[in-house]
Amino acid sequence: MYQHIVEAADFIRKSIKTQAQTGIILGTGLGKLVDQMQIEAEISYSDIPHFVVSTVEAHKGRLVFGTLNGRSVVVMNGRFHFYEGYNMQQITFPVRVMKLLGISELLVSNACGTINPAFKASSLMLIDDHINFLPMNPLVGPNIAELGPRFPDMSRPYDPSINQKLKSTAAEFDIELNEGVYAAWIGPSLETRAEYRFLKMAGADVVGMSTVPEVIVANHMQLPVAAVSVVTDLCDPDNLKPLKIEDVLHHAAKAEKKLSRLFSELMTHL
């Protein structure tokens, strides 16, 4: 496994001159951030040894290198989900590769449904903590000692210093940024009313089908990570409307401008 990560990183290093400082993972419907970049190079996942290829249509499946507001970045445009049938090691493989490429922090975004009635559609939520309801953890199996310890600490999984910067940047540019707990749910079927009630009782504010595996792996490698959720639908168990993927994409597109601004402005503070 470690050898595969090294091989993928070596391949990218040979193809790309850019030394990326920040890694960014773009969630469903949130790919437009790359339009704000000065792109230097792109590589399709299918060209990188040992990478898997995203099956979700809204995802493009490319690593994009360049600068965002003056900072050198590598952007994963398209991520992998457990519901696609990949295992946890495959989903998190790119994060490990980006770490080997030398990034100093990782920013993650995702689309989510909100169980917290105070959050509105198209609003942003800074993830302060998470609950892993996926039936697996990416660190199960022999520990890769070259990357990190057997029992990584998760007392502050989202970097307090980056979170502070995200909050002050949001305030500076008048972007509403709530804060809360993200629950990862396996999908691809959406949650039932009873499951939303359960998630609420468990202490979650929002629910989605990604992010947590990548964040666990980043913590394992002591790679500082922060994540912002885009609320795409309201999940009120007592008044639940059928969810349409078009609505998710519509709200993601609306919120995407705010997210791009937030990430882009953050670059000058990292």
Residue ranges that bind ligand HPA, judged by CB under 6 A: 111-113, 185, 187, 190-191, 207-209, 232-233, 235, 248
| Residue matched to tokens 């990430």 | 263
Q: For residue 219, what are the contacts with CB-CB under 8 A and spacing of at least 6?
A: 152, 153, 154, 157, 225
Identity of the residue, 78 or 208, whose beta carbon is nearer to ligand HPA in the bound complex? 208
Alpha-carbon distance 215 to 226, whole Å?
Answer: 8
Coil vs helix vs strand at 45: helix
Coil vs helix vs strand at 64: strand
Q: Give min distance, CB of 229 to ligand HPA, in A.
A: 9
Is residue 41 a contact partner of residue 16, using CB atoms and an 8 Å limit? Answer: yes
Q: For residue 86, what are the contacts with CB-CB under 8 A and spacing of at least 6?
A: 52, 80
Identity of the residue, 240 or 270, whose beta carbon is nearer to ligand HPA in the bound complex? 240
Q: Give min distance, CB of 26 to ligand HPA, in A.
A: 14
Is residue 147 a contact partner of residue 2, using CB atoms and an 8 Å limit? Answer: yes
- Residue whose Cβ sits closest to ligand HPA: 113
Q: Give min distance, CB of 27 to ligand HPA, in A.
A: 9
Q: Give min distance, CB of 235 to ligand HPA, in A.
A: 5
Q: Give min distance, CB of 177 to ligand HPA, in A.
A: 18
Is residue 122 a contact partner of residue 228, using CB atoms and an 8 Å limit? Answer: no
Strand 177-184 to 124-132 pairing: parallel
Alpha-carbon distance 230 to 126, whole Å?
Answer: 9
> Nearest 5 degrees, angle CA 70-CA 62-CA 125?
65
Q: Give min distance, CB of 236 to ligand HPA, in A.
A: 11
